[in-house]
Structure 1
Amino acid sequence: FTHKGENGREKNYNYYDRADLTAAVTDFIIWNIREQIAMGVRTDVCFCLGTGKNEKFLRALNDRYGFFGELVALEHPRFIVQYRSASGDEYVSKYLALLKKEKENTLPEIRR
C-alpha cells in the first residue's frame, strides 16, 4: 500500500503505521503464522524482513505466543534498494551467509 506523504509524493504505508490498522490486522497475522506452522515450517528460527517496527511487532508476538525459538531480523529488501543500493552486494552476502549457516545447522536432519 502507499499513501501521499506530507510532500505530496507517494510513500509506503505499512500495517504498523497506524495503531487502529495494526489492531485490525493483528488477529489475522497470528492466524497466518499458526497456519504456516501447521504446514510444517521450521520454528527454531524465523527470519524477519525489517529491523524496525516490523521486527518490534513480530518480537512482541513471539514473546507472547512463543512461535519461534530465535528471531533473526534482516534489513528489508525495499529498504536496501531505496536507501542502501550501493551496498546491495554486502546485504546479499549477509543473507546468504545466514541462510547457509541455518542450512548447515539442520543437516543431517531437519530441526523442528
Structure 2
Amino acid sequence: MKALLGKKLRSVTPKKLTKFRDSRNWEYIKDAESEENRRARGKKVTRYFIDSHTNDDTIVAFAHAGIIQQIICAILESPRLWGLSARNTALYEFSINVEEWDSQTRNY
C-alpha cells in the first residue's frame, strides 16, 4: 500500500500535495477512492458486522484508520466533519447491541 500511495503522490503537483497534506482530502490524489465510496464501504462493513453476528459474538477486524473513521461515521450516522488520528497497531473496541440495532431505521 505504501508503495502504491508513493507512486500516486509522486504524480501530484506540489501545490495539490500541500493541499492534501493540510486537508487530508483524497480528491487531490488522482484515482483515489472518493469520499462517497469510502463512506459506502464503511456502511457496508458496519452492516455486515451487525447483520452477520449476535451479541454473543466477538469480532476481530483489522483495518486502516481511513476505514475505521468511516465505520465510526456509519455507527454514529455522522457526516465526516471530524478527524481521527490513528497510529499503526491502534486498538479500538466497540460494543453494539445488535438486537437493539434496527437496520431498517438506519440511514443505509
TM-score, L = length of structure 2:
0.34
Higher helix share: 1
TM-score, L = length of structure 1:
0.33
Higher normalized contact order (CA 8 Å, seq sep 6+, divided by chain length): 2
Higher strand share: 1
